[in-house]
Amino acid sequence: MNPVQFEVIWHRILQIADEMGIHYLRCSGSQTVVTGNDGATAVMLPDTGLVAIGPYIATQSNVLPLIVESTKRTCADNPGIEEGDIFICNDPYSGAIHHADVAVVAPVFIEGELTAWLGVSGHQLDIGGMDPGGFAINAVDTHQEGLRIPPVKIVERGRLREDIFAWVMNQVRDPLVGLDVKAQLAAIHVGTRGLHALAGRFGLEALGEVMTGSIDYVERRFRDRLRELPDGEWREVQFIDHDGHTPEIYRIELKLTKTGDRLVFDFTGTSPNARGLINSAYSGLIAGVLCGTYIQLAYDLPWNRGIQNCIEVISEEGTVNNCAYPAPCSMATISAVIVTIDTVFGSVARMLLASEDLRGEAMSMWTGSSMGPIVSGTSQHGYPFVYTEMSHFAGGGGARTDADGVDTGGIVFNTTPNVANIEEIEADFPLLYLFRNHLEDSGGPGRFRGGRSAELAYLTWRAPEGYLEGSFAGTGGEMPNAIGLSGGLPGASIRLMMVSESGVHDALDRGEMPPSRLEDIPGRHETLPIKHPRRAFGRNEVWYHNWQGAAGYGDPITRAPEAVRHDLTEGVISSRVAEEIHGLALDSSGGVDEKATAHRRLEIRRERLGGEPKSAENTEFPPGARRITDDLWLSGGEVRCGRCGETLGEASRPLERAKEIIGPITGAGPVRGEAYSALYGAERFFLRRQVCPGCGTQLEVRVEMEGAPRPGWMLKARN
């Protein structure tokens, strides 16, 4: 095909995916979708190959092909797949990620021929089941988790099946789900109209050619990208705390092997199915792998099937991110899936670091987990509501190799993250917020700092029945999931607190201003398990949470002193972190005391080594060497410290001779899991630092658990 026509048609297909998303959001009424942008769209080939995806949640787009596959498998003969049909599905065992993500998919017939499939997916406010809001905290099998719709024909030859629609509506607590499903149908119409116009203008054959050609194009580009990167093996180990029943810890293990133009993601070793809702089915695993890969490696490409064509995923069914029926999985997105993304992020970032040309694309982990406090009851307007607190979509951005991460910059799986205004929340729901501000010290320290997260607190307000109910589904309270690169430290972990008998409501009734910091709220402060089932949310109770911050990049004692001082004066970090972690010293006028800072930093190196460090200023580059991170050289098969020249290991065991320092995670700052260690009476995670035995430069910092395998990496010689 001539390149001009290809470009013209391709532009239009991308626009169709985009327009579908815009229309979905315009018509929906759900804050989760409209404000949180928690939805996705896709254009697919007749054989389900992903051609183009719309904006918003990348993970949800990735599973639309799986849903089409299930639809074809189960519906082709009976009831049949025909022009004008639309199918609805939210079954995680048929391709959805979790129950709350309801998708509709539709075949597009042009001139009687199946030309494409379209899909729209979105996170619904409620999906029935034992708990409002879609997260069934106490479930032990998926049948308790609410509506689980296999592919079902909801529109038959252009006509809405009112019986099916009514059946869906019968199962859900919030009638707004009806508006949202209709918004999805509207988006399918827009996409169908667009494809018809496109085929009419350029012909079916040209349309088909561009759809498959675009996949080939992306695959070609992605293989080129992979060939630029070094071969090697990267092992990541990440954790999920609490399964809804007990504070058990689950592990996701990944060994990423990169050879030439191929990536193999091997999850062997991952914990078996959890008893509770944190699992993800195969769909979530694939969605997570692709999402992490897109963002770190395919940042300048259209995201479609071409990328998946270069990837192999190895995983055993019956594990926490590939669960076996009937394991519960209603919380998959914000437990097993996001933690799977973390493993992909960590491994791919280290692969990028090893490449001279692409090192700058590496990012430390963004806010590494996700959470959903859910409040329900009767609103001040008199109707039943389910509200999912989504402020954590303003998570921190991971530190970059030459810049700090973005404070409250988003959540990694959403290309267009957005959180609600306080006024929007209070207008719809009977709540009053006390504060929502950045959380001090939440960004992982480093040469470049991880982006900050935030904290908030609220109480019931003008609730007609006097109280509400709330449940909580979060991951990453006992430990941070955002792990740094090149010696950068992890970001904050989640903390969920309840303050009972606070008297705040009473004080407000008297016209008194409530406190705007957690520690100033009077009453009984209690750390709540990161997942807990529905409980009453009474008057004078204040609920508080903060979410995870992002991770840092590089040794924090190499951060520019002026940047540390700026963070201190703007309230980004505490003086403890400035002094103890960054080694900052100020003069009497509040400016940087260069000499004292240098001295303090030298002290920190001494402490790390338990002896006198070599100069870290030796930057003489050995001939024939290449950098494999900003701080490491590979020279004649030997890995050496780029600061002092000390030999650390070889390509297959790069940090073998690094000095290891084990310590508590609070060595990275406050709110790193200590509240949960206190709650459970056990410190199950620790920080392992690897420092250069020569100069004491911190090269790698990991959050690990006793008895769990260690993460690591190695480079292979190119054949």
Partner 1 sequence: MYSIGIDIGGTFTDAAVVKSGGGRAVLAKAPSTPGDYLEGVMTVLEDAAAQLGLALGDLLGAADLLAHSTTVTSNVLWTRSGARVGLIATRGFGDQILIMRGIGRVAGLSLAERRHYRRTDKPPPIVPRSRIAEVAERVDSTGEAIVPLDEVGARAAIRELVHDHKIEALAAGLLWSFRNPGHELRLREIAAEEAPGIPVSLSSEVSGRLGEYERTATAVLNAYVGREMEGYLEGLTARLTASGLRRAPLIVQSDGGLTPPGRVVPIRTVESGPAAGVAGAARLSGELSKTKLIATDVGGTTFKVALVEDGRWGLADETVITQYHVFVPMVDVVSIGAGGGSIAWEDEGRLRVGPCSAGARPGPACYGAGGEEPTVTDADLLLGVLNPGNFLGGRIALDPEAAKRAFERTVAPRFFDGDATAAAAGVREIIDAQMADLIRKTTLERGSDPRDFAIIAYGGAGPAHACAYAAEAGIDEVIVPYHATVLSAFGAAAGGVRYMLEHSLTVFPPEGAADLGRGFSDLEAEGGEMLARAGVPEGERRFDRWCAIRWRRQVHSLRVPFPGGPMGASSLERVLGDFAREYALRYGEESAYTEAGTEITRIWINALGPALPPEPVSTPEKSLSPTPGKTRRVHWSAKVNWQETPIFDGPALPAGAGIEGPAIIEHPGTTIALPPGAAALIDAAGHTRIRLGQTPGFKDDSARENSVKENSAKEDSP
Name residues contacting partner 1, limited to 512-551 (CB under 8 A): 512-514, 516
Nearest residue (CB) to partner 1, 37 versus 283: 37
Number of residues that bind partner 1 (CB under 8 A): 107
User: Binding string, 53-82, against partner 1, x = CB under 8 A?
Assistant: -xx---------------------------
Angle at which helices 58-75 and 282-297 cross, to 10°: 140
Q: Residue from 20, 31, 333, 388 that binds partner 1 (CB under 8 A)?
A: 31
User: Whole-number minimum distance, CB 417 to partner 1, in Å?
Assistant: 5
Nearest residue (CB) to partner 1, 399 versus 616: 399
Which DSSP string do the residues of 439-508 spell out, in sequence order? Answer: PTT-SPPSSBPPPP-EEEEEEE-S-TTS-EEEEEEE--SSS-----BTTPPP----EEEEEES--HHHHH
Where does this chain touch partner 1 (CB under 8 A) — which range of 177-185, 231-239, 242-250, 551-559?
A: 177-185
**Cis ω on the peptide bond leading into residue 326 (within 30° of 0)?**
yes
The answer to whether 400 contacts partner 1 (rule: CB under 8 A) is yes
User: Whole-number minimum distance, CB 159 to partner 1, in Å?
Assistant: 5
User: Whole-number minimum distance, CB 673 to partner 1, in Å?
Assistant: 24
Q: Residue from 38, 407, 440, 541 that binds partner 1 (CB under 8 A)?
A: 407
- CB atoms closer than 10 angstroms to residue 427: 12
Q: Which of residues 561-590 bind partner 1 (CB under 8 A)?
A: 569-571
Does the CA dihedral 661-665-667-668 come out positive or negative?
positive
User: Whole-number minimum distance, CB 296 to partner 1, in Å?
Assistant: 8
**CA atoms of 388 and 132, how far apart (whole Å):** 9
Q: Which of residues 671-710 bind partner 1 (CB under 8 A)?
A: none
% helix / strand / coil in the chain, to the nearest 5?
Answer: 30, 25, 45
Residue 626 pairs in a beta bridge with: 634
Q: Which of residues 134-163 bind partner 1 (CB under 8 A)?
A: 155, 157-160
Residue 485 pairs in a beta bridge with: 553
Instruction: State how far Cα 393 lies from the chain centre.
Output: 9
Q: Which of residues 357-376 bind partner 1 (CB under 8 A)?
A: 360-361, 363, 366
User: Whole-number minimum distance, CB 670 to partner 1, in Å?
Assistant: 18
Nearest residue (CB) to partner 1, 224 versus 316: 224
**CA atoms of 496 and 448, how far apart (whole Å):** 28
For residue 488, give every residue at least 6 positions away whose Cβ sits within 8 Å of its Cβ, in sequence order, or none: 364, 399, 444, 445, 446, 447, 448, 450, 551, 552, 553, 554, 555, 556, 701
User: Whole-number minimum distance, CB 562 to partner 1, in Å?
Assistant: 15
φ, ψ for residue 400 (rounded to 5)?
Answer: -110, 170
Q: Terminal CA-to-CA distance of the chain, rounded, Å?
A: 36
Nearest residue (CB) to partner 1, 18 versus 580: 18
Range 567-582 burial, b when 16+ CB lie within 10 A, else e: bbeeebbbeebbbbbb
User: Whole-number minimum distance, CB 492 to partner 1, in Å?
Assistant: 16
Nearest residue (CB) to partner 1, 25 versus 371: 25
The answer to whether 408 contacts partner 1 (rule: CB under 8 A) is yes
Where does this chain touch partner 1 (CB under 8 A) — which range of 317-325, 356-364, 524-532, 662-670?
A: 356-364
Where does this chain touch partner 1 (CB under 8 A) — which range of 262-270, 398-406, 495-503, 634-642?
A: 398-406
**CA atoms of 449 and 491, how far apart (whole Å):** 9
Q: Which of residues 84-123 bind partner 1 (CB under 8 A)?
A: 84
- Tokens standing for 611? 């002896």
User: Whole-number minimum distance, CB 229 to partner 1, in Å?
Assistant: 16
Q: Residue from 1, 26, 76, 79 that binds partner 1 (CB under 8 A)?
A: 26
Closest alpha carbon to 470 in 500, 436, 439: 500
> Is residue 681 within 8 Å of residue 501, measured between CB atoms?
no
Residue 172: its H or E element: none
Q: Which of residues 418-477 bind partner 1 (CB under 8 A)?
A: 418-424, 426-428, 432-438, 454, 461-462
φ, ψ for residue 24 (rounded to 5)?
Answer: -55, -50
Q: Residue from 51, 199, 226, 577 that binds partner 1 (CB under 8 A)?
A: 199
Q: Residue from 133, 151, 410, 642 that binds partner 1 (CB under 8 A)?
A: 410
Nearest residue (CB) to partner 1, 419 versus 695: 419
Q: Which of residues 212-251 bind partner 1 (CB under 8 A)?
A: 217, 220-221, 224
Computed on alpha carbons and rounded to an integer, the radius of gyration of the chain in Å comes to 26
Q: Which of residues 270-309 bind partner 1 (CB under 8 A)?
A: 294-295, 299-300, 303
Nearest residue (CB) to partner 1, 336 versus 432: 432
Where does this chain touch partner 1 (CB under 8 A) — which range of 172-180, 319-327, 479-487, 593-601?
A: 172-180
Where does this chain touch partner 1 (CB under 8 A) — which range of 65-73, 285-293, 410-418, 679-687?
A: 410-418
CA distances, 363 to each of 262, 506, 562, 598, 643 (Å): 21, 47, 23, 28, 21
User: Whole-number minimum distance, CB 22 to partner 1, in Å?
Assistant: 7
- Tokens standing for 93? 């065992």
**CA atoms of 309 and 291, how far apart (whole Å):** 14
Nearest residue (CB) to partner 1, 299 versus 621: 299
- Tokens standing for 99? 């129950």
**CA atoms of 654 and 640, how far apart (whole Å):** 8
Where does this chain touch partner 1 (CB under 8 A) — which range of 7-15, 239-247, 463-471, 660-668?
A: 7-15
